[in-house]
Chains A and B, each alone.
Chain A
Amino acid sequence: MCFLFQKSYTVLKEEDILHRQEDDVTRVSTVLSISRVAASILLRHYNWSISKVHDAWFADEDAVRKSVGLLDKQVVQLSNARELTCGICFDTFPCDKIISAACGHPFCNTCWSGYISTTINDGPGCLMLRCPDPSCQASVGQDMINLLAPGGDKDKYSRYLLRSYIEDNRKTKWCPAPGCEYAIDFAAGSGSFDVSCLCSHNFCWNCVEEAHRPVDCGTVTKWILKNSAESENMNWILANSKPCPKCKRPIEKNQGCMHMTCTPPCKFEFCWLCLGAWSDHGERTGGFYACNRYEAAKQEGAYDESERRREMAKNSLERYTHYYERWASNQSSRQKALADLHQMQTVHLEKLSDIHCTPESQLKFITEAWLQIVECRRVLKWTYAYGFYLHEHEQAKRQFFEYLQGEAESGLERLHQCAEKELQQFIAADGPSKEFDEFRTKLAGLTSVTKNYFENLVRALENGLADVDSHGACSKTTSSKNAVVGKGKGSKGKGGKTGGSSKNGDD
């Protein structure tokens, strides 16, 4: 399947922003035959919209001049006196020590400098600076700032001007990643809000939260609000590490995937999410990876459906905890994967290249695998917010959703495991081995299969699991073995595999 949609946005670096700003100022300055400083003040006033400036100016130039403070002529008559009194410190100065904006109100150098500096340090309001005389509307432009402001304040002013160009413009926004100084210019009217900044941060243009397909902005806001409201509970719960299910020693998770191995002598392998033995997970043992499912759904027949729901209503916090914990686990897994990716790119790839006598360009499949893991963790994380808000009574959808999510999770676990654990032996190897080629095929295959599966998942969730209404009723029990791989190859037959939940009993 191809994803050939046009990119609907441009990432702007600081020099691009300055360049655009300059261009806009030049255009307005040329068209209106006014100075660049005046053009900049005008643009700032009309939120950097050239068309608005033009419209207003040509509709009523005098009114615009008046409201923006671009005076035609001085309001103060020039006297022939050799000395003038500064309107702030009330000292008298020779005329050449007195400076005025276009209005002619006289102030001394020192007072101007103090006035400008105070305003700049009060915040971005300094971009609308006017003459200090209370009755005067004359604007003070960047030329006077540069002439009179102390050095550091000049820089601050320029920053505010740059920021204003991005922040006041409806078509541009800063990338919200901490420390990132790029801005995004977004063309309205395109389908997807997902934006990928050059700093590698992906975010949603609409709500500026991190990218959250397949969940919509409203759900994300609700979820984030809920998290902050419940965060004290959550912090308490999550701050406590989990005990090893076998030896009960407290364990802190420091690896990316959910497959945990307790330290020797215990060496118990278990799933971080459900604390069940890992041998019950994955298809290796023919088991079914159902760790995404709320409650001990595996204890077949222990609860009937209505009892389970009553139980859930009673434990709404517990239910929330379930989703939050999985959301947060995937979040931290993603952080870890990002760190691992970085480590891979900076250290391990070179090492691998040496050991296996392979050019780094041929090791791209490893980077690609890790990028895919990072992206999948993100999607998977948001499916838990999706699941939390999925209606209880939409039983068919719910089952189908949990099935899809379970498959996604097990597929991703396999990929993550392969990229993290299986790669270790090749990094530790002394020389080239022919298994490395097999590993390459396996990892590349897993990457592509997982990619397809997640793309399908995102689309299915985005259209609200519409397939379910037609197929949900006829829940068939199909073998889930290899289903992950099979599913990736096409979106057909999703509905037919709805029988995931009853699967457990059969295995």
Chain B
Amino acid sequence: MQASRARLFKEYKEVQREKVADPDIQLACDDTNIFKWTALIKGPSETPFEGGVFQLVFSVPEQYPLQPPQVRFLTKIFHPNVHFKTGEICLDILKNAWSPAWTLQSVCRAIIALMAHPEPDSPLNCDSGNLLRSGDNRGYQSMARMYTRLAASPKKGNFGNEQAVILLMNLANPGDDGYRCSGLDLEVGI
């Protein structure tokens, strides 16, 4: 308990110093509980998540850093390795490949890397994984981008339902390369 608290406090101080260093990650500790953290991460460029800001919540166990923290997306995201409803993340370093030398900051970096390089072969979101596995990259990109705009856009409040429907209709319109909209989940976000 004491060791994990000390370590987290060190990370906290490090975060305060590094804030400028990594503009893609904003880690913040809960005001009252050092075992609860949140992070805002920017969607990596040249991915469908570009332009989005995603919120992560950390729940750090008392055995930290010998045990990994629990992390999930609070922001809805369409990604093969993130559970669509709960935001749970399937990432080896958060499970059996955890090493105590990882930090919350490096976990965020690993998650950003996962966003750019999905692993469709061990999907937590099967619709998303199937799009990629069937080679429908455009379908995957469109869906992911749509949810980025719907849920992770910084100006979320301005984004009305009407526009969302128009966006959806545009997305669902088959392109000349035979785009399919099989995985479209119409009840979400509209």
Q: Give the segment of A23-31, A84-92, A417-425, A492-500 that binds chain B.
A: A84-92
Question: Residue-by-residue, is A107-148 near B (CB-CB < 8 Å gives 1, otherwise 0)?
Answer: 000110011001000000000000011100000000000000
CB–CB B102/A134 < 8 A: yes
Note all chain A residues with C-beta closer than 8 A to B7: 88-90
Q: Give the segment of B79-87, B93-101, B163-171 that binds chain A.
A: B93-101
Please report the C-alpha to C-alpha distance between residue A118 and residue B4 in the assembled complex, in whole angstroms: 14
CB–CB B3/A90 < 8 A: no
CB–CB B3/A114 < 8 A: yes
CB–CB A88/B10 < 8 A: no
Nearest chain A CB to B173 CB, angstrom units = 45
Residue on B with the closest CB to A89?
A: B7
CB–CB A134/B93 < 8 A: yes
Question: Residue-by-residue, is A76-97 near B (CB-CB < 8 Å gives 1, otherwise 0)?
Answer: 0000000000011111000000
Nearest chain B CB to A150 CB, angstrom units = 13
Note all chain B residues with C-beta closer than 8 A to A105: 101
Q: Is B70 an interface residue (CB 8 A)?
A: no
Note all chain A residues with C-beta closer than 8 A to B11: 90
Note all chain A residues with C-beta closer than 8 A to B67: 118
CB–CB B6/A118 < 8 A: no
CB–CB B10/A115 < 8 A: no
Nearest chain B CB to A103 CB, angstrom units = 12
Note all chain B residues with C-beta closer than 8 A to A90: 7, 10-11, 14
Residue on A with the closest CB to B102?
A: A134
Note all chain A residues with C-beta closer than 8 A to B129: none
With beta carbons under 8 angstroms apart, the residue of B63, B65, B106 that contacts A88 is B65
CB–CB A133/B6 < 8 A: no
Nearest chain A CB to B111 CB, angstrom units = 14
Kindly identify, within residues 1 to 40 of chain B, every residue whose CB is under 8 Å from any CB belonging to chain A. 3, 6-7, 10-11, 14
Q: Is B66 an interface residue (CB 8 A)?
A: yes
CB–CB A110/B99 < 8 A: no
With beta carbons under 8 angstroms apart, the residue of A87, A89, A118, A132 that contacts B63 is A118
CB–CB A88/B6 < 8 A: no
Please report the C-alpha to C-alpha distance between residue A115 and residue B68 in the assembled complex, in whole angstroms: 12
If A89-B3, A118-B63, A134-B93 touch, does A111 touch B10 (CB 8 Å cutoff)?
A: no
Nearest chain A CB to B110 CB, angstrom units = 9
Please report the C-alpha to C-alpha distance between residue A115 and residue B67 in the assembled complex, in whole angstroms: 9
CB–CB A110/B3 < 8 A: yes
Q: Chain B, interface size: which category? A: 10 to 19
With beta carbons under 8 angstroms apart, the residue of A110, A118, A132 that contacts B101 is A132
Residue on A with the closest CB to B10?
A: A90
Nearest chain A CB to B114 CB, angstrom units = 15
Note all chain B residues with C-beta closer than 8 A to A133: 99, 101
Residue on A with the closest CB to B14?
A: A90
Please report the C-alpha to C-alpha distance between residue A89 and residue B7 in the assembled complex, in whole angstroms: 5
CB–CB B101/A89 < 8 A: no
Note all chain A residues with C-beta closer than 8 A to B100: 88, 111, 114-115, 132
Residue on A with the closest CB to B103?
A: A90
CB–CB A134/B99 < 8 A: yes
Residue on B with the closest CB to A119?
A: B66
Please report the C-alpha to C-alpha distance between residue A118 and residue B67 in the assembled complex, in whole angstroms: 8
CB–CB A89/B6 < 8 A: yes
Nearest chain B CB to A381 CB, angstrom units = 43
Note all chain A residues with C-beta closer than 8 A to B3: 89, 110, 114
Nearest chain B CB to A357 CB, angstrom units = 70
Nearest chain A CB to B10 CB, angstrom units = 4
Q: Which of B67, B97, B99, B100 has the most CB of A within 10 A?
A: B100
Residue on B with the closest CB to A122?
A: B96
Note all chain B residues with C-beta closer than 8 A to A115: 66, 100
If A114-B66, A118-B67, A134-B93 touch, does A87 touch B101 (CB 8 Å cutoff)?
A: yes
Please report the C-alpha to C-alpha distance between residue A90 and residue B102 in the assembled complex, in whole angstroms: 11
CB–CB B99/A118 < 8 A: no
Nearest chain A CB to B63 CB, angstrom units = 7
Nearest chain B CB to A15 CB, angstrom units = 34
Note all chain B residues with C-beta closer than 8 A to A132: 99-101
Please report the C-alpha to C-alpha distance between residue A115 and residue B97 in the assembled complex, in whole angstroms: 13
Question: Residue-by-residue, is B96-133 near A (CB-CB < 8 Å gives 1, otherwise 0)?
Answer: 01011110001000000000000000000000000000
Please report the C-alpha to C-alpha distance between residue A105 and residue B7 in the assembled complex, in whole angstroms: 18
Residue on A with the closest CB to B7?
A: A89
Nearest chain B CB to A455 CB, angstrom units = 52
Note all chain A residues with C-beta closer than 8 A to B65: 88-89
CB–CB A89/B102 < 8 A: no
Q: Which of B3, B63, B66, B102 has the most CB of A within 10 A?
A: B66
Note all chain B residues with C-beta closer than 8 A to A110: 3
Nearest chain B CB to A435 CB, angstrom units = 71
Please report the C-alpha to C-alpha distance between residue A223 and residue B190 in the assembled complex, in whole angstroms: 57
Nearest chain B CB to A145 CB, angstrom units = 16
Task: List chain A positions with a Cβ less than 8 A from chain B.
Answer: 87-91, 105, 110-111, 114-115, 118, 132-134
Task: List chain B positions with a Cβ less than 8 A from chain A.
Answer: 3, 6-7, 10-11, 14, 63, 65-67, 93, 97, 99-102, 106
Q: A115-B100, A118-B66, A134-B101 are in contact. List 10 more A-B contacts (CB 8 A).
A: A88-B7, A89-B65, A90-B10, A110-B3, A114-B66, A114-B100, A118-B67, A132-B99, A132-B101, A134-B106
Q: What are 5 inter-chain pairs, A to B, with CB distance below 8 A? A: A89-B3, A89-B7, A118-B63, A132-B99, A134-B101
List the 10 shortest-distance A-B pairs measured between CB atoms, nearest first.
A118-B66, A90-B10, A134-B99, A88-B100, A87-B101, A132-B101, A133-B101, A114-B66, A132-B99, A132-B100
